[in-house]
Amino acid sequence: MRICDICDKATSGITQNTLSNNNGEYPIYGASGLIKYVDFYQQSNPYIGVVKDGSGVGRVNVYPQKSSLIGTMQYIIPKAGYDLKFISYALKSLNLKTYATGAAIPHIYFKDYGKAVIPVPRLEDQERIVEELDLLSGIIDKKKAQLKELDALAQATFYDMFGDPITNDKGWEQFPFMSCIEKVSYTNKVPSGECLKEGKYPVVSQDSDFICGYWDDKSDVFTVSKPIVIFGDHTRILKYIDFDFVLGADGVKILSPADNINARYFLYCLKSFNIPSLGYSRHFKLLKELSIPVPPLSLQMNFEGMINDIESQKSLINQSITSTQTLLDATMDKYFG
């Protein structure tokens, strides 16, 4: 059956800049998750939300009753006789990102993916399939929760060793941001839409997946001689990289720390400043205005050792997530083709 025949769609006209003074008990969600609680809601029953514009386009989730979505997302509401979670899994199996159009800001339309045909069994079979898929999804969710706990441990370790970089309560010597990096590279190479599913070199972008694909052309590779930090001027993403890669054409900047700055320390220091959400290209301007506390390099190196231990644990968890996700994908393919 076609998605458009078994689901209704609805749009949201809510913009984030209208919510600053609105507070309440009802959640409102965006592409990255919960935004805040407000005094209104648009949907009285649980529903499916699809990211239709920008970063994370095509992502599908189920949202609770008495909640709302921001305008860059769309409500999908199954009709009577169709299980909400079954339809959400069916939409995920379609990989809606493949329906995206637009180079600068990708977007998808219900009029396009709504024509997709999915197999729809009896309601009791839908519920049985959901139970099987939920079991695998639950394992993945628990593993991801463990990753968040390890991330929190890493950030707590940073604050314990170095204090708050904003107040510099431990009195470290401070330097202007631009003197803490050797260079900034703005070079864009490979449009993310042209990436390969498999290849020799990962393509780094600033979307939620970080690595958006792979590339084989050696001439496009950024060779990492020492660990660096990348910064996304759209999404404020900050990542540590110690491998050769190809840069995606979406506003990623490469920051190469100076010799007295450890890349692990630099990454967590920048994260601590929590650059606010601003318009395109303004995020990096804020970074350039920062003063960076610089503790002794030996202490930074001790911190790096602790973080490397945490990253090793995360790597094992990620391997488990990958194997479980492979099983989930195979199960979804069995039911949805």
What pLDDT does 278 receive?
Answer: 47
For the chain, 337 residues long, give each residue's pLDDT as a single digit of tens.
Answer: 999 999 999 999 999 889 989 999 999 999 889 999 999 999 999 999 999 988 789 999 999 999 999 999 999 999 999 999 999 999 999 999 999 988 778 899 999 999 999 999 999 999 999 999 999 999 999 999 999 999 999 999 999 999 999 999 999 999 999 999 987 776 667 776 678 888 889 888 876 667 888 988 888 888 898 999 988 776 677 899 999 998 886 677 889 999 999 999 999 999 998 776 544 456 778 888 899 999 999 999 999 999 999 999 999 999 999 999 999 999 999 999 8
Element counts in the chain: helices (H) and strands (E): 7, 17
Q: Which two tokens stand for residue 120?
A: 């729809």
pTM of the model: 0.78
State the pLDDT at residue 277: 54
Which secondary-structure segment (H or E) carries 150? helix 123-162
> What length does the chain have?
337
Task: Note the pLDDT of residue 246.
Answer: 87
Amino acid at position 196, single letter: L
Please say whether the beta carbons of 178 and 334 come within 8 A: no
Chain centroid to CA 192: 15
Question: What architecture does CATH give domain 121-159+296-337?
Answer: Orthogonal Bundle (1.10)
Sign of CA dihedral 118, 121, 122, 127: negative
Nearest-angstrom CA–CA distance, 315 and 205: 20
Q: Inter-axis angle of helices 263-273 and 297-336, to 10 degrees?
A: 70
Yes or no: say if 220 and 187 are a contact pair by the CB < 8 Å rule: no
Query: Do 3-120 and 121-159+296-337 have matching folds?
Result: no
Tokens 């839409």 found at: 193
Contact 252/273 with Cβ under 8 angstroms?
Answer: no
**129 vs 83: CA distance, rounded Å:** 10
Domain 3-120: homologous superfamily in CATH = DNA methylase specificity domains (3.90.220.20)
Domain boundaries, the chain: 3-120, 121-159+296-337, 173-294
Match domain 173-294 to its CATH number in 3.30.43.10, 3.90.220.20, 3.40.50.1000, 3.40.50.450: 3.90.220.20
